[in-house]
Amino acid sequence: MSKITVVLKDGTRRQVEDGSVWGQVAAEIGRKLGKEALAARVDGETEDLQSPVQADRQVEFLTFGDEEGRAVFRHTSSHILAQAVQRLFPGTKLAIGPAIADGFYYDLDSNHVFIAEDLAAIEAEMQKIVKEDYPLARREASREEAIEYFTLRQEPYKMELIQDLPPEVQVSLYKQGEFIDLCRGPHLPSTGMVGAIKMLSIAGAYWRGSEKNKMLQRIYGTSFPKQKDLDEYLERIEEAKRRDHRKLGQELDLFGIADEGPGFPFFYPKGMIIRNELEDFWRQLHRQWGYQEIKTPMILSRELWERSGHWDHYEENMYFLKIDEEDYAVKPMNCPGGIICYKRRPHSYRELPIRYGELGLVHRHERSGVLHGLMRVRCFTQDDAHIFMLPDQITEEIIKVFDLIDVVYKTFGFPYRVELSTKPENAMGSDEIWDLATDALKRALEQKGMDYQINEGDGAFYGPKIDFHLVDALGRDWQCGTIQLDFTMPECFDLTYIGEDGEKHRPVMIHRVAFGSIERFLGILTEHYAGAFPVWLAPVQARVITVADRHLPFATEVAAGLEEKGFRVEVDDRNERVGYKIRDGELEKVPYLLVVGDKETEARAVSVRKRGQGDLGRIPMAEFAGQLAGEVAQKK
């Protein structure tokens, strides 16, 4: 049999049998790869392992360790879910079933109303399909053939999807056992490769995400190659529930959402302490980095929002009102206000860069179905900054922002990754301006030596951006910081500076946040720390616990001495057992519990219990205050 050449990821050229499929190539490279490969990335496109090998193509094999490999694995799992449901509940119509982060779902139209008790039966049937180890066979069909097939099967949602395709397009179908689905693929070679499955929940979802369409039933699940991996994931899910900021916010009396204001958070006294500490940290850091703080109005005229482009590009997310018969909007972003501050007077090139920082409250209309505690709200405070600079200052300023954001995330113990988002479909400005801005961001990233991914088409409507995705204690990814480079707004608002030549020139603008929003960042911190905030953020840093009533005078003296040094202290003098009061302090996640009894009073010391470490023994008051001061100052 003749040989053909393929190119491996590292550039190695390999001879393989003509007529082979990609799965055979993986097995020839190595036994382990042959066992773990799930799909092939061929010249940048993901293909089935059953696809025939073509000469001179570059191939990389994807495993469960690759994001695309996991997507293929879980997309096949969604087909297994659909097959199981149609076996158990005949007549169920299929909509779509994609892979998502950490799992998959399928949207279904069924006369049966699915309840939580159905999930076990569905899961058992899916496991049966896995054991039956059906091969997944792909075949191409014409648009007309596919419509005819799904018409006979009475699958209206599949027919609608096909009818939306151009007439000349070939449609791909995947078959496993008796089950056939419309799908672009790729898929696993067989159902038996799905090692462990868990059905998770049921929800409602409108067909194609439109409230004008029928409400379907959505079944969520997840899958892994090995049961051990699934068990670890389910434990992380349970830990995430224990850390849920909405639950902890209520238990620790920090914040909440009232029925009278869906999407509009309330901060209680203890929550305000954490919030104020975050804002104080932000202000101190920005003073050090040369920012001037401003405050801009919450309501501004329609003319301003039309000029900025928000009226045309962001209208559906905005709140509007009339004042003296004129149209106004509640600001969804702070940037136009920062621009007005810049325009209030002429500027010389010698002044630039000008860095304005603002903790600005913005309002955005979010649908009720997506609201989620502090993570998705309708009003929030952005830790915004707008930098006005000369074109030749771009790289230097972006690198300074990198360094500032790095300090912020390291302070809280977050590792992070970086994405560069490029021009979206609804962008303002010419391709030339976008290319200029995108290239400038790339140069800064490369000069700083930062690894980054490209996120095509996800830039802001006025400019490309760099997004910072931090990783929390459970390994979850949160997009928080962002840097947006903007040549468009200075043009829209006719921003100028007087150059060295005495002529007017156009500045360049950076929009950036570090926290993202105070509210969301506080929610992330609550879950990251599981409510056990570091001492410098903790609403109560130390609680003095009396053994008996006679110890209250010394307990009060201890608390007063610490309060004079700026610490947040409470006294628990309730007529309860010491063990009970200690347990309460631990449940409320107070960093230090200071027990005072006869010996402590006599020695003018405190018996210290540190959160997470237990009893530290008896420590003189002055020594303990010094330790506490050092921990707060270092933001440990």
Can 50 be counted among the known catalytic residues? no
In this structure, of 332-341, 452-461, 475-484, the range with the lowest mean pLDDT score is 452-461
Instruction: Give 596-620 as a DSSP string.
Output: E-HHHHHHTEEEEEETTTEEEEEEE
Instruction: Give 483-546 as a DSSP string.
Output: EEEESHHHHHTT--EE-TTSSEE--EEEEEESSS-HHHHHHHHHHHTTT---TTT-SSSEEEEE
Q: Is the pLDDT of residue 311 over 90?
A: no
Q: Is the pLDDT of residue 458 over 90?
A: no
Residues of the chain with CATH 3.30.930.10: 268-296+334-528
116-157: per-residue pLDDT in tens? 999 999 999 999 999 999 999 999 999 899 999 999 899 999
Q: Is the pLDDT of residue 308 over 90?
A: no
Confidence of residue 353 (pLDDT cuts 50, 70, 90): very high
Q: How many CB atoms lie within 10 A of CB 506?
A: 15
Residues of the chain with CATH 3.10.20.30: 3-63
Q: For residues 31, 32, 33 and 38, what is the CA-based torsion angle, rounded to 10 degrees?
A: 110
List the catalytic residue out of 75, 243, 511, 528.
511
201-228: per-residue pLDDT in tens? 999 999 998 889 999 999 999 999 999 9
List the catalytic residue out of 218, 286, 355, 465.
465
Residue 488 confidence (pLDDT):
85
Residues of the chain with CATH 3.30.980.10: 68-240
Residue 367 confidence (pLDDT):
86
CATH 3.10.20.30 at 3-63, yes or no: yes
Contact 615, 597 (CB under 8 A): no
List the catalytic residue out of 384, 472, 486, 572.
384
Residue 1 confidence (pLDDT):
62
Residue 16 CA to residue 9 CA, distance in Å, equals 15
Confidence of residue 460 (pLDDT cuts 50, 70, 90): confident
Can 386 be counted among the known catalytic residues? yes
Fold of 268-296+334-528: BirA Bifunctional Protein; domain 2 (3.30.930)
Average of per-residue pLDDT across 89-104: 95
183-194: per-residue pLDDT in tens? 999 999 999 999
Q: How many CB atoms lie within 10 A of CB 490?
A: 19
List the catalytic residue out of 364, 378, 543, 589.
364
CB burial class (10 A; 0-12, 13-18, 19+) of residue 172?
A: middle
Average of per-residue pLDDT across 284-288: 96
Mapped to the 3 state alphabet, what secondary structure does 396-443 carry?
Answer: HHHHHHHHHHHHHHHHHCCCEEEEEECCCCCCCCCHHHHHHHHHHHHH
- The mean of the pLDDT values for the chain is 93
In this structure, of 16-25, 245-254, 621-630, the range with the lowest mean pLDDT score is 16-25
CATH no., domain 68-240 = 3.30.980.10
Can 364 be counted among the known catalytic residues? yes
Instruction: Give 237-250 as a DSSP string.
Output: HHHHHHH-HHHHHH
List the catalytic residue out of 50, 217, 382, 541.
382
579-601: per-residue pLDDT in tens? 999 999 999 999 999 999 999 99
Residue 545 confidence (pLDDT):
97
Q: Is the dihedral of CA 9, 12, 18, 24 positive or negative?
A: negative
Confidence of residue 16 (pLDDT cuts 50, 70, 90): confident
List the catalytic residue out of 386, 400, 512, 528.
386
Average of per-residue pLDDT across 279-300: 96
CATH 2.40.50.140 at 542-633, yes or no: no
List the catalytic residue out of 176, 181, 335, 484.
335
